[in-house]
A and B are shown apart, each in its own frame.
Chain A
Amino acid sequence: MPTARSQPSLSRVLVVAAPIVLVLTLLPKVVDLYQTELLIYGFTFAIAALGFNLLLGYTGLLSFGHSAYFGTGAYTVAFIVRDLHLHSMELCILGALASTLIVSALFGYVCVRHTRIFFGILTLALSQVIWSLAFKFFWVTGGTDGIRVPRTGITLLAGLLDFKGSGSYQRFVYSYYFYVLVVFLLAVTVMWVIVHSPFGKALQAIRDNEVRASFVGVPVRRYRWIAFIISGLFTGLAGALWVPLNGLTTPDILYWPFSGEIVFMTVLGGFRSFTGPIVGAIAFNYLKVYAVASSQYWQLVLGVVLVILVLVLPAGIVGTLERLFGKLGRN
């Protein structure tokens, strides 16, 4: 596994990251509005997948219920805008983080008592509870109609930017691109530090061998719980950022197929590498959008891709590239 072979050096990370950040900053000047919007979606899903992978790739726990945290973040923003009449995106994000903290702490407390398939089933079942609440309590949640969160109802940077008046859609997409990009880069940095911290090492030890982890004094269950909460918070943050872009939140994002999509993104990119989920989420978003646009049988397209992926590229896009470049480097 190339994941843990070398110690990360800050200078090397910066050498790789700086050009990418530069390209991402300049990209909206080159591509059109629609592509910019697709990228924003990609970033939000990337944050969700990054959070999800703290559990799968680093702690060895496969959650099939991450739609719950994405949806909690999204619905919280919708409630804040609709019911509290607050428009600041920063407040919305704080609110979303607070509510996901509660939900993931509660669900996590139950789920981390188990591992493997039992853990997966529990996360799935609990996420379906949230879904059914959103589905049935239509007088609060709008049922299948969901809740509209118009971009005109949102302001960025403590009210500095609002999106009313003519040409506001274009302004919104460009401003929101940079807004989400900054949050995304922050999220990536925070997650990078977490997985390279002593705590991150302890999670990987738990993943590899939980018995031995406890015999070197690691509080296995408590750390799984903390990892679960952090994972939920990232996914909740992603949900919050997603809503104003989508303009609407519906129970679909709480339903289990969406949890499956988060799993798909992560596996597509490669769950054994740090950047895998990021690349996977952005790639999945394009894949899905173009599959939907080009065929009414888009689920079939995605299904075939997933099968090919598992059979041919089990290490995912990034994992395969790493192996390829590792081989080139050695020869």
Chain B
Amino acid sequence: MALLQTINLKRYFGETRAVDNINLSIEEREFVSLVGPNGAGKTSLINVISALLTPESGKIIFKDADITHLSVRQRVKAGIARSFQLVNVFDDLTTFDNVALAIFSRQGKTAHLASLAHLDGDVTREADAILGQFGLGAKRDDTARDLSQGERKLLDVALAYSLRPKLLFLDEPTSGVSTRYKGQIMDTIASVVRAEGITAVIVEHDMDVVFKYSDRIVVMAQGAVLAQGTPDEIRRSEQVAMVLLGTSGPDAFTRRD
């Protein structure tokens, strides 16, 4: 049984079919990339699955349970976490407090108002360990606002990861970051995700990144799934090359500089 399954999932914005009858299943421990041109419905699909948007119709099954009508918080508790395309962190909190808050929340401790947050040794140790994993240790006491774009992207992912999810959605974790830094961020994310056996679904435009890290690639266009397969299968698909690149041929995906 798949970890996540969507059944005839639909979400329209007026005439626009952002999510049009999507039947997708994600297996446990898979690293899946969601690709497609702008407006293909990748982010909308993630928004519907993570409860930021409600679906028109269809079902979302997670760990054999119907979660279609659960709230954001209930889905987080069930084990679905996500990062955001535009950095979405707590700007006036320190890097450390950002991550610590997610851990407090996971442990059900945010209701504690008679204990001092910084005296919680367990949470402090775990938060520092996570900051270390994401290479943010040196920025521990900086406010999130003062971090660089790349660091903010990593913090966004670290926030979601701190919830120790079963299923992690990463919406363009490397957007707005220089090419050199991109590889670094993806290596960090991939190593953390694989080490913990987390199932990851990532939206990404850079096909080099997609081919390098994915177990499976799902190609979307106009709200529907156009094709899916292993990196090799997708690389060979002329139809996919036409949609993504506007050209086809045996080496369409080879970068020409």
Contact = CB atoms under 8 A, between A and B. Distances in A.
Interface of A: 1, 3-8, 193-194, 196-202, 204-205, 207-209, 211-219, 223
Q: Which 9 A-B pairs have the closest CB atoms?
A: A199-B113, A208-B90, A202-B110, A217-B105, A198-B104, A217-B76, A7-B118, A216-B102, A197-B113
Interface stretch (B36-44, B93-101, B181-189): B93-101
B109 interface: yes
Nearest to A60: B92
B138 interface: no
B141 interface: yes
Contacts of A218: 73, 101, 105, 110
Given A198-B104, A205-B98, A212-B88, 11 more contacts: A4-B97, A5-B142, A194-B113, A205-B90, A212-B89, A214-B76, A217-B73, A217-B76, A217-B105, A217-B110, A217-B163
Interface string B81-93: 1101000111111
Given A197-B114, A197-B115, A219-B73, A3 B109 contact: no
A87 B254 CA distance: 87
Contact of B141 (A5, A198, A216): A5
| Chain A, interface SS category | helix
A212 B106 contact: no
A209 B159 contact: no
Interface of B: 50, 52, 72-73, 76-77, 81-82, 84, 88-94, 97-98, 100-102, 104-106, 109-118, 120, 141-143, 145, 159-160, 162-163
A216 B105 CA distance: 7
Contacts of B114: 193-194, 197
B159 A216 contact: yes
Contacts of B141: 5-7
A63 B141 CA distance: 31
Nearest to B50: A215
A275 to B, nearest CB: 17
B128 to A, nearest CB: 12
A197 B90 contact: no
Contacts of B97: 4, 201, 204
A199 B110 contact: yes
Nearest to A220: B73
A319 B88 CA distance: 26
B76 A197 contact: no
Given A208-B90, A217-B163, A196 B118 contact: yes
B88 A211 contact: yes
Nearest to B145: A1
A219 B76 CA distance: 11
Nearest to A1: B92
Given A194-B113, A217-B106, A4 B118 contact: no
Contacts of B162: 216
Contacts of B91: 208-209
Contacts of B88: 209, 211-212, 215
A205 B101 contact: yes
Contacts of B120: 198
B90 A204 contact: yes
A286 to B, nearest CB: 31
A130 to B, nearest CB: 27
Nearest to B82: A215
Most buried by B among A213, A216, A217: A216
24 contacts: A4-B93, A4-B97, A6-B141, A7-B118, A8-B116, A196-B117, A197-B112, A197-B116, A198-B112, A199-B113, A201-B93, A201-B97, A202-B101, A208-B89, A212-B88, A214-B73, A215-B72, A215-B81, A215-B82, A215-B88, A216-B76, A216-B105, A216-B159, A218-B110
A61 B100 CA distance: 23
Nearest to B116: A196
